[in-house]
Every structure is written in C-alpha cells, then in structure tokens.
Chain A
Amino acid sequence: MKIDPSIFSELKLFFNERANPSAGKLSVVSAYTLSQTEKELILVSLIRLGYKTDEVDYQINKNILAGIILKVGTTVIDLSLRGQLTTLKNELYEST
C-alpha cells in the first residue's frame, strides 16, 4: 500500500502511540535534579501506592518551585509548592 510521504512521519508516530501507549508510563517532575537517595525514597512510596515502577521518567520544571508532580497517563498527583499556593489562593478567594 502506498502511503503519501508527507503524512508518513505523523502516521508512524500515531501507530507507535497506539502500539505502546504512554498510558502506563510514570513520570516524575521535580524543580531540580533529584539525588539517588531521593529517587529511592520516591520509588518506595510509589510501590506502596501501587504504581508500576519499572519505567520512570524524570523531568525538571523550575516553575513548580518545590516538591514533585507524579503523572501516570492522565492521572496527576500534584505535590508541588506551586499547586499548594494555587489551592491556597483559591480557598482565600472563595472564603472571603
């Protein structure tokens, strides 16, 4: 079957996504590079919470200020300082 070259690369990405959905992949976002001990602590907690920890993707995002954000597929556990501050702001706004 002849595939138009202009869509070939996009089609390849699409099929890759379908075959190996990134739904299972766990990613940890932190504000700075984590040391080995910190990574191990996180892994222990993750195993306790019931997440598969064979493939963990570590990312850095300075915007979260501190703490970590865990992402599994579309589920997000926000333990960052930025998240706490936003919640605080909303609660103050709502209560007054």
Chain B
Amino acid sequence: MGRRVLLIGLDGATFSILDPLMEDGVMPGLQRLIASGARSELTSVVPALTPPAWTSLMTGRSPGNHGIFDFLRFDLRSGQPQLRVLNSDDVACPTIWSILSRHGLTSTVLNFPMTFPARGISGSVVPGWVPWRHLRLACYPKSLYARLTEALPQFNPRELAMDMSLEERALEGCTREEDYEHLIELHIRRERQWFQVLTHLMREQPSDLTAVLFDGVDKLQHFCWRFLDRAIFSASPSAFSSTWESRVRGWCLEYFREIDRFLVEIAAMAGADTSVIIASDHGFGPTVEVFYLNEWLHRNGYLVWADAANVEQKHAETLGLGTMARRFYEIDWSKTTAYCPTPSGNGIYITPPSAGAGGIPAERYQSFRRELMEALLRFTDPATGEPVVKRIWTQEEAFTGTHMAAAPDLTLILRDGGLVSILPSDVLLKPRPEPAGAHRPNGVFVAAGKGIEHGLRVPPLSILDVAPLLLYSLDLPVPQDLEGRVPETLFGPQYLRSHPVGFEALPAEPAVTAAQARDVDLQLEAQVIGQLRALGYME
C-alpha cells in the first residue's frame, strides 16, 4: 500500500478560538495531533471567503486564476447586469483530485464548495453547498447516494446537505436561548452525518486522498462569537456564570468536543501511515459595527436606485428577503457608476459603459477609481473621527491572473474586519448590539505524518501551499503552474534529501471555464440572497 493523505477542513477555524479550547481541555485530540506534528497560521486569499479560499486550497491557484471571487458572479460587462450562482463549472483550474486522477490515484471528496456539479474523478464526491432535495443526483458516481442510503440507516440528506428552510429558521431570530440551541444542534447533527459518510467510505473504499470539510465551525463563529471568544466572556464573567449565555456557551463547547472526537477517530482510522492535514479557509475575529456601503455610494453620487419610493423603507431589520433580492434589479444603471452587489466579499464593481449611459469609459477608469478610493478612505466614524475603511485592494493588486476581468474593481478591508451591508440605511455606520464573528485572513494549518517534524510551530503558510504539500505527501510531482510551494520547513533536512520535491510541466491551461463554454446564465435572485443570508453573510 502506498502513502495516503487525510485532509480535514474546518471552515473558518482560527487559533484564537482553538487555542483556548485546547487549554481548557475541550479539544485534547487536536492538542495531541498538533504535538505530534506541526502548526502554523494559514494565510487566506483576498477576499478571505469560503468559495475563493477553498477553491484556492483545492487548486493551488489564486482567485485571479481560478476565477472564483464570491458565491456569485456579478457581470456588468455583458450589457445586461446579472447575478449568477457559481458552481464547479466556473472553476477554471484543475483540482488536486483531478490531478490525482491523472496520476492514477483515488480521492474521496466530501462537502467542499464549488464541487457541484460533481466532476468525474477516480473516487467519490459528495459535493457541499447542495440543497438536500438534489443530493441524490449530485453525487459522483451516481450510484454513490444509493450505496450510502443502503449502508447507513441513519443517513439523512436533509441533515447532511443544505436545507435552506432549516438554516434560515435557525438564523432568523438568534436572540433567544432556544434559537441558539436549535442552530448549534443543527450543526452537530450535520457534522455527525458527514462523519458517518466519511468513516463508511474510509472503511469500504479507502482512497489515496480523503478530504472532508466540516463547515459548522464557520457558522457557529458567525453567530456565537461572543460565546466563544474568551476576550469577550472573560470580560463579563457574571454574564456567563448562571445565565442562559452560559448554556449557549456550553452547547458551543459541545460542538467543538464533537469535532475533536471526530478528529481523533478519523486519524485513528486512517492509520499511522497516513499523513493528516487540518486546514481552514480563513480565520475569524469579532465585528462590532455595520458599514452600509451601498448607502454610502448612494449618498456620494455613485449609485442611484431606480425606484426611489421603494428605498424609503430603509431599516434593514424591516426588509424581507424579497425586497433585498430586488435591490440588485432596482438599480438605475444609466446613472450608477459603482455598486456592491453582494454582502459577502466587500467588493465594488465600477459600471462599464455597456451597462448603461452612466458607465465609466476606459479612459476615465483610473482617475475615477482613484477618486472613489480616496473618498472611501476619507470616510470616518462621526463619533471618533477614525477612518472606517482600513485598506482597499484594487483589482490588479488582488486578482492578477487570467480571470482578473471578472473580479471586483475594488475590495474593501474594514477597520473591524467585518462585512459591509448592501442595504439602504438611515445611517452609514451602525454599532452591532452584540459582537458577531467575521472572517479574518489568518486560518489554521496543522500537519502530522511521515517526514513531518514533531512539535513544530512555523511561520504563516499560504493557503496556496496546501495543494503542493498534498501532492508532495503522495509522492506526486507538483505542476509548475501552482502558485504555492511545498512548505519544506515542515520536514527535516534528511527527509528532504531523500524525498526531493518534484515538478511536472504545465498541463494545458483551459482557455475558458466550463461555464463560459456553456454560456450558462442563471439569473436567479431571491435564492441568492436567501442562501447568503443563511450562510451568515447577509446583514
């Protein structure tokens, strides 16, 4: 039997939460795993967001090359502004599982985003972010679903895959104890479903690469941050001593205990010859305010709503899903020059001339963009005078690559690390009633296995380094177009001498994505907003 690798994704995991949990004895298994190998922070891509970041981990390519910048693609350049849900057809680079297939190795791939529709590989795929009603036909091979239902009496697609009604219900009113309990239980049940599928396939159909993603970490941290962040609950110990908050924290800890149990059991099942890599797509931190970016664009003359009367309904909390979905289609594109289409990526698109008379022609683009950036950077908190926008990435700074043209023109980093709101508002900046969780660039990386030194703590790695490491760990050459590198600091010099990193010539670069080739054009509205809201990206 050759070498094997186990990749465990923990969506949004951050050491600022995991370290205290290990210290408190909640995650002893992770602690032992780290002691037996190496740990590092894992620097995400821009934006530090699930679809682009996991796609970068899966392909070893940056968003400018793999073409995934958000959950959605916003296209103003085709003349008719469109929002479209992205899927695996839009991923413009080979995944590590397709590279393994080319070398005759097998993969089991569970719950990764941008893997639906599942592509034919040597192995099995249960894609992530798929509505449960369609999971039966979404798996690869097609027979996989039936095999799982026959072998696993507890298999429940409604718990395993996305159930929008459950997720939305869980998140609509997370103010009461029972709301949090419902949300946390939902994710514990979901992880148990993935765990049983994973362990079944590991027993029945072991692969060279087994990859699973537990995505509840991200969800809990979005909505339960104040119950998880030691800096917050330690500051008010009385609030966590006997109140319902302490019970919510207890349920959160139960979720992480369950994850820890999974880590231990999966690693034990995989065996000593298997290298174990744990990675997250981004980190997490607190967010304490909301910046209404489209409202700012509106007030500064960049954005005009088509139906002014409708915009009178400005309070975010009174807007239903349908109203929010319509926002995108209520833009007066003949007068709008800049717009933020989604609440997940902090991206601003500058309207090209083809989208309406108000578009910015190429000769004015640079000066227009510079002025817009300067104006955003000048925006300050009226209470403190402090700038709200901490940094702005231009398209060419963040997204250089073959698909740069589809990327946002500007990507904002806010002072509190949070996400913007795309909704109209009476105010430009509003404090949150309670701190929530928001993405940060620094995720987690843990590796243990053959050749990896014990007890190492190495400087931050790039998420782009994971794909080369996975290939190296399987004794495969690294394609020359991968943008990361094998992190040699993990290995001893003797091991590296006996196992030199190999490279292979560039495979042919696809000129267009499958989606471009098919000209798929799903202009769907409400589901997009609903999906994002349920995923925690909608303010």
Do A and B interact with each other, yes or no?
no
Measured CB to CB, the residues of B under 8 A from A are none
